[in-house]
Amino acid sequence: MNGINTETNSSLLQQLQQKQETLFEKLASGKRVNSAADDSAAQQIIDRLTTQVEGNRQSISNAYDGVSLTQVAEGGLSGINSDVNRIRELSVQAGNGILSDADRGALQAEISQLQENITQTIDQTNFGGRQLLSESGNIDFQVGANAGQRIGVQTQDIAAELDDVLNIDVSTAQGAEEALEAADNALEFVGGARAELGATQNQFESAARNLSQADVNVSAARSRLQDTDFAQATTQSIATGIQSQAALTVQAQANQQQGQVLSLLS
């Protein structure tokens, strides 16, 4: 009888020790679920939520890169807009009939400098090595953890669109009149391109805000499944420790009794 009780108590003691080790692991790691063995269903959900969290966080970074890119492109167009405005102002001045050929030549010299500035701005406006104003195309950014969640920034060959402005000549009255029309067309085009970039920037910023909120929500959901309830785990650990001490005491008493029986038999 004593042998059976001893074996039962020993098994109970092993179970309590294993439970205590598990509780210590949870308290040390701060996680309720450290492996699939702890809770296989919860582990699967946690893995999916972790993928979502990591995807959201990288997407937030992507969205802010998109914001930066649109700001750089819009900044380049803003400089071009200022130069074209000045060209238009000079073109209006060139339409003054009392100007001499030398006067018109001076106006044209300044216009030529502005045209060079525009060309230089187009060539130098880039982001991470990607040309933003000299090529027509689309630059896509992944702004979500799932496929298909993308925002694209459209790029254009600005030099081709501003070809008339880059070739105007106000050295004659006719040239001055043509320059006005070219400048007006250029300003309309540049204004439209800036507005489009502004709208795209707003898209990126909205996506970043939404992703940040989603990250908070998904992280909280993962935490509820994964993190240790320290108060509960500590209470369980204390209770298990008391049970283990009781089992050890019973084990010691059983061993002592067995020793006494053996001593009498011998």
Tell me, yes or no, whether 46 lies in a domain: no
* 241 and 198 belong to one structural domain: no
123 and 244 both lie in a single domain: no
The residue type of 75 is: G
Q: Are 78 and 189 contained in the same domain? A: yes
**Domain assignment of residue 207, yes or no:** yes
Q: DSSP labels for 81-109?
A: HHHHHHHHHHHHHHT-TT--HHHHHHHHH
Do 149 and 201 belong together in one domain? yes
pTM over 0.75: no
- Asked whether residue 111 falls in the same domain as residue 212, the answer is yes
Taking the C-alpha atoms of residue 248 and residue 242, their distance in angstroms, rounded to an integer, is 10
Nearest to 193 by CA among 75, 65, 64: 75
Cα–Cα dist 15/92, whole Å: 94
Report pLDDT for 243. 55
Residue 43 lies in a domain: no
Q: Is residue 39 part of a domain?
A: no
Tell me the angle at which helices 40-94 and 101-124 cross, rounded to the nearest 10 degrees.
Answer: 170
**Domain span including residue 14:** 2-30+229-265
Q: Is residue 233 located within the same domain as residue 146?
A: no
In a domain, 41, yes or no: no
Q: From first to last of its 266 residues, what are the pLDDT tens digits of the chain?
A: 444 455 555 565 565 555 555 544 555 555 555 655 666 777 788 778 888 888 898 999 999 999 999 999 999 999 999 999 999 999 999 989 898 889 999 999 999 999 999 999 999 999 988 999 999 999 999 998 888 899 999 999 999 999 999 999 998 888 888 999 999 999 999 999 999 999 999 999 999 999 999 888 888 887 777 665 444 545 554 555 555 565 555 555 655 655 555 555 55
Looking at the fold, whether 166 and 81 belong to one and the same domain comes out as yes
**91 plus 156 within the same structural domain:** yes
* 131 and 207 inside one domain: yes
Cα–Cα distances in angstroms (integers) from residue 223 to residues 43, 97, 133, 213, in the given order = 12, 78, 45, 15
Q: Do residues 249 and 210 share a domain? A: no
Angle at 182 (CA atoms; ends 178, 185), nearest 5 degrees = 140
Going from the C-alpha of 243 to that of each of 193, 205, 234, the distances in angstroms are 75, 57, 14
Same-domain status, 73 and 193: yes
Write the DSSP string, 165-225: GGG---SSHHHHHHHHHHHHHHHHHHHHHHHHHHHHHHHHHHHHHHHHHHHHHHHHHHHHH
Residue type (1 letter), 183: A
- Give pairs for 249-257: CB < 8 Å, separation 24+: 250/9, 251/6, 251/9, 251/10, 251/13, 254/2, 254/5, 254/6, 254/9, 255/6, 257/2
Does one domain contain both 11 and 132? Answer: no
Would you call 149 helix, strand, or coil by DSSP? coil
pLDDT the model gives residue 229: 45
Q: Does the residue 37 lie in any domain?
A: no
**Token pair of 51, please?**
């993928």
Domain count, the chain: 2
Say if 124 falls within a structural domain: yes
Task: Write the CA distances from 22 to 43, 230, 245, integer angstroms.
Answer: 16, 13, 17
Q: Answer whether residue 209 is part of any domain.
A: yes
